[in-house]
Structure 1
Amino acid sequence: MKEDIKILYVDDELNNLISFKASLRNKYKIFLAENVGHAYDILRKHPDMRMVFSDQHMPEESGTAFFETLRKEFPNAIRILVTGYTGDLDAVVEAINRGNVFRYMKKPWKTEVLLRIIAEANQHYLASSLLAEKNRELERAYVELDKFAHSVSHDIRGPLAGIMSAAQLAKDIDNPDEIREILTIIGHSAERLDRYILNVHDYYSVRRGEFSISEIDFGALSNDLLEMYEASASSREVQFVIKLNIKEIFTSDETGLRLILTNLISNAFKYQKKKSDERLVEVVIEVNKGIATFLVKDTGIGIKEHYFSEIFNIFFRASLDEPGSGLGLYNVKSMVNKLGGSISVESEYGVGSIFKVELPSK
């Protein structure tokens, strides 16, 4: 039985209902209703009903009127009108116009004709569902494009304006100390631009979804991360620790893992409290029973609870204390999803955060 395909038949004649179910009971999940009220009860319990057949001539309401109302409440269900009257052409035309009926079928029906109509209706349902999903994806893409255009304007022009202003100012200064300060400003602006470009690169890497699955050497990966963040840890006076508990071989996309970890670790350094005697960024990596768990803990400024549901949205920033593109956590979430994993966060504002990522071995 094709359990995923549910079909409802509405008819006030019991013999027709029995015949319909007998023809299809071994192929589809069939629901029967003797009146419109019963039909709506069934539909509300099974909103994923794929097709609805209805007799045109029923005592309380015609099939045309039923489909007109049905179209509004359950627009995805494919509607098929059943009639036993040869002179019902006007009713069929009306049903097409008012109820957006896909097909009509004459009584008494032949099983092969019924099966062909269902197959055609199913193809129409699948094509319509695919088109609707593509339209939703297109709408999301337009929203992201609009946000991206705004982000480019702000996050690229801002640092560039800082660099140009500082360079113009340096032309009229001879004091070496002041020039060094200006060069520091230029350096910070250039770093902001570099981070933004890397985030955009990560964004499109995630969108392409090109993976290379291999065994992950967590020892080499942790050494690379320690070396990468050595300067940040020293300059910010942050203790950086990586702990490994690897019990078995783990395979995944190493570039994707690095994207996830570097974004989370960079944020952990970036949002450390400026006035604190104890500053810590700790990464714990465990592999057990085919699952790799990554914990990135920090003693930073934390995240307010009402932001938890938004921090992974594109261009969202929970804090404006530090410069950022709002792409980092969005890229992390997208990569985690593509690798078939999950991500969660625990945070106390003013105390720190713990990001937890779980990924299955590929």
Structure 2
Amino acid sequence: MDAFFASVEQRDFPELRGKPVAVGGSGERGVVAAASYEARTFGVRSAMSSRIAKQKCPQLIFTKPRFEVYKQVSSQIRNIFAEYTPLIEPLSLDEAYLDVTENIPGIVSATKLALEIKQKIREQTNLTASAGVSYNKFLAKLASDYRKPDGIFVIKPEEGAAFVAQLPVEKFHGVGRVTALRMHELGIRTGLDLRQQTEAFLRQHFGKAGGHYFRIAQAQDDRPVEPDRIRKSVGSENTFIADLDTLAEMQAGLLPLIDDLWRWCHRTSVYGRTVTVKIKLNDFQIMTRSRSALLPIRNRAMFEQMVFELLEENFPLAKPVRLLGVSLSNLEDSQPYEGKQLALPF
């Protein structure tokens, strides 16, 4: 979906249409969750601090997020997808992979099918979507970002290698800013540069991810679309209105995050073995600490104790804290067979 949160706000509130809109908090410590295309022309981006966003675009209009509305619209779009294929892998509320090799209407052309889905989304939600069509997930993702908003871009099998070769590495899905800088230091600036490296060299410098970079440089990606993709982690974080200085203040700030995650665990019957605490200082330096248990943590008191111990390991801190976060990973379903059908070998 194109600028999803901001587009929903502009759809529902006509006075916002054609204006630079940011979904998020407008306060000094606020963060932009989404920006309309009008705001993006000024350089406003998601995850940008609201203070910087207002400097870039003084006329920027902030609106508070309405996540329940976004979830409803996302569900409506997911229902449209389901009319075409059961193989849907959601990435977020506004993005998904669809495997349409065999599709319900029996449409032979993936491009025609994508255009039909885009049209149906527009008719039913009055919102626009962009589509990337290709023969693997990596290329489809690249293509989906290529002609936004309201665009469609197709990368055919014979075009994949050449398309990847000319792209800057920072355009690759999964290559973040820090990784791109490391690649630049190694003389790797384009897909072609990446393709000329050996897998051993890339693994030496980027670890396990090096194998992935080696394959995508060849335009290869064998990952299937996984409709029942297991969530790898769940987290909650908060940027505080005022910096926190003392251990007691930080413990108090962590309690709502602990409660938030524990409610999710209780509701889903999914528990984690690894606890991670994230600390962002007021100079934006980020520190993380993790600890794993032998078994999934199903006791809230133990969860809280692990969080507080990880926090205390960082003391004394050099500077006050602006953000705290808690996450759980190595998740396991405590009811793995309930409501699930097993595949039996016949």
Q: Which TM-score band (shorter chain)?
A: under 0.3
The structure carrying a bigger helix percent of its residues is 1
Relative contact order: is structure 1 or structure 2 higher (C-alpha 8 Å, sep ≥ 6)? 2
Name the TM-score, length of structure 1 as normaliser: 0.18
Answer with 1 or 2: which has the greater Rg. Answer: 1
